[in-house]
Structures are given as C-alpha cells and as structure tokens.
Structure 1
C-alpha cells in the first residue's frame, strides 16, 4: 500500500512541523509520500518546509499562486495519482493526527473502498469528539446518500479523517471544483455514490485533531457564499442525475434546508446586514411537512419549525447563543 498524504499550506509556518512530523512517524509512511502544496503563503511556510523536509525523498514540495485550498488539493491529488499512489488522505496544515491514525486506517481498509475514523474538534475553550456516524446505520446506497445529505455531521462531511482509494477517484473523475466552501462535502459525496455501506470501514476513535480558530475558511466572511451555496445545490442535483440516484422530494427539501441554514448562520455570525426578511425569502419555498422533519436530526427539525414560524425569534436566539460560545 502506497499512501499519499496531501496537505494544502497557507501561512502555516508555525504549525507545519507539528503536522508533518506526526505523519512521518506513522509506520505506513515508510512506503508513503507527503505532498505539500504551498498556496501562495506570505509568511515563511515555504522556507520552513524546504529547510525541514527538502532532503527527504518521500516529501514533495510544490508552490502555486494563491488559488485556495481546493485547487491546492487537486494539484496534489493529480500528482499523487500520477506517481502511482494506491490510497490518499487529505490533511490540513494547522491540524494534526493522533499517533497511529494512518496505520489504523491502512489496516482496517483492507480491500474495501473507504476507511473513516472519529475526530476531535479543538476549540479555544474546550474540545468535542465525534466517533459515531449516522452513515454507519445505512443499509443501501440510497440510504447512505440520503443520510449524508440530510443528517451528516462534521466527521461525515470532512475530508481529513478518511482514507480513499485512488483507483475509485481516477476511474470516476472525482475532483475538487475550486469553490472551497462545500468542497469537502461534494468530494466526499462524489466518492460515496460509488460505495455501498458494506464497503466502508469505521474506526470509533477520535484520531484526527481538528483545530477550530478564527481566520479559517469557516470563520471568515465570504460575500460570495450565496453563489457557492447555489452551486453546491446544483452540483448535487447534477451528480444524482449522472449516477442514477433518485431522491424523494422530502429528502431534497431537508437537504436544501440544511445547506440554507448553514448559509443563514454564516450571515448571522459574520454580517450585520442579514435580516429576518432575508431568511423568510430564502426559505419561503420550503414546505413545513412531517416527512421533511423526519429526514432531519432532531435539532435541525426543531430549527426548521422555529425559523419557518418565528424567524425573528430564531435570529435573536442564535445570536445570543453565539455570543455565549
């Protein structure tokens, strides 16, 4: 097994050694490669990487003008496939892996298509672990896709805790589109449409440390997020058509609400211009039906009822919660 670890790097001089050293310590990396793609860093990231790893044969350094982490990942992915990697994992430069993570994923995947471990989300004041996925309860591919679209949590949608097979990626034209927001989710969804639940192996341990901090994509206001939101919805619709999966209307409504709520929360958290009338306009075509609520996790079903009924109250409660976090 030849594992490729792809790491997009942007202004990560302070953290890159912690990240890469943890990967190099894995036994499986004696036959694996690391692809560091510097995305136009303005700090000492490139110099730090060259100094630390420039002489190592299995660490490859690439540089590009700043185009975003999705383009950086795609560049590393194309190179890894060209170099003959059998499996690939994507790790962020400001995160780190727990000891044994890659070795564990490499062991459990066997001849299956995907291996997934739990994550630890590290906030400035506390940490939260996710080790159990709703996807584990899926029995069919339709059920797997439905659960991913309507009931996913961060360990499901994220790239960094998953070991993928490069032959599945190459044969099915799975790639990053360059949107950054929703990019992780869409890549994983593309891959899942070529898996059955039985072809996924799970490690119920939080082996990936995901650092949550201001300045990351999630915590930076994006004035084009509305366009990316619409792109994601359209891309999912087209993907379902291509792979021949027909989703019930209640599933589509629940999926759209999940994505719309993410967009609304982004506006409420990072912009003072978003008003209750904007939320009503965004959600006005979504029917409040029991079938839709059944597709959503309990907290999202409750949010759907409240925001459709009293959007102004929902705004106030959300902002109070965020101010206390």
Structure 2
C-alpha cells in the first residue's frame, strides 16, 4: 500500500452517550489500530456524547481520533459525507457509534483485501439482543458486483456498510456518494453504486461486528411522511443511477426491492402516508410472486411495531387487492 494510513474508520455520533465509549474501546483494542485513523463526526448531539468522547481521549492519550463537530444537526448521511471527505486511508469502513467490534475486525478484513487485491471485502456480524444473539451471514457476497446488487435487491445481502471494507479510491474516483437527507436505505444507495464499479470482491466467513438491536431506534418506529419520503427518494436515486448507466437488467431486478419498500410504506405507514403513496410504483407488482412473505413480515414488524397477526392480515389483504387489480387490468386491456 502506498498510503501510510491503511484504514479510515468513519463513525457518525448522535446521542449515544451510553454506548459510544464501548464502541471506541473495542476499536482501539484492535491489533492494527496504529495503521488506522478514526474519524468521529459529532452531529450536534444533545446529550453528553461529546463529553464522553473527549473524556475517552483524555484517559487514553495514545488513541488518535480526528474529531469533527457539525455546527448543526445534518443527519447520518451528511455525517458520513463529512467523515469520508476527511479520510486518507487506502480502505474505508463505517462503524455505528452504538455498536462494537471484535479484536480482529480491522485486521481480518484488511489482510484479506490486500491478499486478494479486493475493492470490497465483507464479513459476517452478530445481532446482539438483550437475551442473546444471532449471526447475520454474508455468504452470498459474490465476486461479481452485479450479482451482489441483485442479491441486495432480493435481500440475500444486507445493505449494512459496517460489514464491508472498501477501497477509498473506488468510491472517490467513481463519485460514489451518500445523499443528504436520505437517512433510510442510505447504505443500500451507497452499496449499489459501490458494487457497480467494483472489480474484485472477497468475503471472510467470520462474525466480526456486533450490531445492537435497539427496538427504540429511528428505523424501528412507525413510517411517517418524512420516512416515507426518504424511502421513495432512495429508490428513485437508485433507479436514476441505473438508468444513467442504461442497465435494463438491474432496473428489472430493482423492482423486487421497490416492492418491499412500497409494502413497508403502505403497511407500516400512517394513514397520511398510505393516502399519498397508494398508487406508487405499480410496475413492481409484477414481482409479487417472488415476495418472501416470512422475511417481509419481519420487516413490517420492525418498521411499524405492529403485532404479528395484524402484519400478516395487512400483507394478505394487500396481496389479494393487488392480484384482483391485475386481473381486472387484463380484462379491461382485452376490451
């Protein structure tokens, strides 16, 4: 590697006073941290997150952190943009400030990237619940970026950036970006661009990251109008990106992702949301037969907090209505 800094670790921080110290401690316990830069962007936290970070630095003077304070709250996407703009590492990885990592998280991913000359390397992760944990596998990461995008669309690959270390120049030279004000599915927006330009992808079958499942998080509350608009903007950006590259095959594959997103909006949203978006993306209804219903129920429950019986009822009602609409359209089109 030509760069003195091997890895840039990007950490947006907003109101995580009870978790950020564990996050930082786990990172600085990594075995190649001396080859890394840790860039923390405090997005105007209203709790004492900033004081805890500064206190961590006082207690651990050998831990080098580039601390950047936003002058106003700008959201996750903008915090990552700020951090990435300051990055100098050969490779970049994003860490959420309420999570923590294994001791070989950085070295295992980086060493694999160097060994295979990969643009992107991925790993597995733990989902930590109050009463246990489960493993998120990324075995469907393929050496083909296009296949990875298809697997993202059908939810065989999770969008999470914290299990993917990527070459900084790959993103910088191809203008791969986060979109300001899109803080839902922002990882999927970034992933699609990143994988589109990647030439080599590698994977290590090892859980190295601990994702804290928080039932009170932004993602786990009801889909209001603001969230719905962000979800729609995310899908529209991906569609525009694929259109700009004249990629009809991936545009067709995106329909299943649009279908999942549409159902999250309609079934997990407020009445105002349903009224506004009831007729959105009718083209994606052609992929209804491919819907993984059990997986999708989990998404509805996560997005809206509805009980499981109600979620199943809502989904089955929508599917019946959509199928009836399709049949009526066929009849009308023949006349």
The secondary structure found in structure 2 opposite 1:135 is coil
Aligned residue number for residue 170 of structure 1:
172
Any unmatched runs of 5+ in structure 2?
298-311, 323-335
**Alignment pair present for 1:194 and 2:197:** yes
Q: Distance in 2 between matches of 1:10 and 1:223?
A: 22
Aligned partner (choices 244, 255, 258) of residue 256 of structure 1 = 258
Q: Distance in 1 between matches of 2:204 and 2:150?
A: 22
State the 1:190 CA deviation: 0.9
Aligned residues of 1:279 and 1:311 also touching (Cα < 8 A): no
State the 1:31 CA deviation: 1.4
Aligned partner (choices 62, 65, 68) of residue 59 of structure 1 = 65
**Alignment pair present for 1:306 and 2:302:** no
Q: Deviations over 1:138-186 (max 9, x none)?
A: x744433222222344xx2011111111110110111211211111111
State the 1:245 CA deviation: 2.3
Any unmatched runs of 5+ in structure 1?
313-325
Q: Distance in 2 between matches of 1:219 and 1:171?
A: 35
Q: Distance in 2 between matches of 1:249 and 1:237?
A: 7
Aligned residue number for residue 316 of structure 1:
none
Gap change, CA 1:278 and 1:134, over 3 Å in 2: farther
**Alignment pair present for 1:241 and 2:251:** no
* Mapping of residues 111-130 of structure 1, within 5 Å: 111-130=117-136
Aligned partner (choices 95, 98, 102) of residue 102 of structure 2 = 98
Aligned residue number for residue 212 of structure 2:
211
Q: Distance in 1 between matches of 2:267 and 2:129?
A: 18
Aligned residues of 1:101 and 1:207 also touching (Cα < 8 A): yes
The secondary structure found in structure 2 opposite 1:203 is strand
The secondary structure found in structure 1 opposite 2:125 is strand
Q: Distance in 2 between matches of 1:250 and 1:305?
A: 23
Gap change, CA 1:49 and 1:307, over 3 Å in 2: same
Aligned residues of 1:124 and 1:213 also touching (Cα < 8 A): no
State the 1:133 CA deviation: 3.5
State the 1:249 CA deviation: 6.6
Q: Alignment length, in residue pairs?
A: 296
Relative to structure 2, which stretch is displaced further, 201-210 or 250-259? Answer: 250-259
TM-score by length of 1: 0.80
Aligned partner (choices 242, 257, 266) of residue 268 of structure 2 = 266
Aligned residues of 2:23 and 2:97 also touching (Cα < 8 A): yes
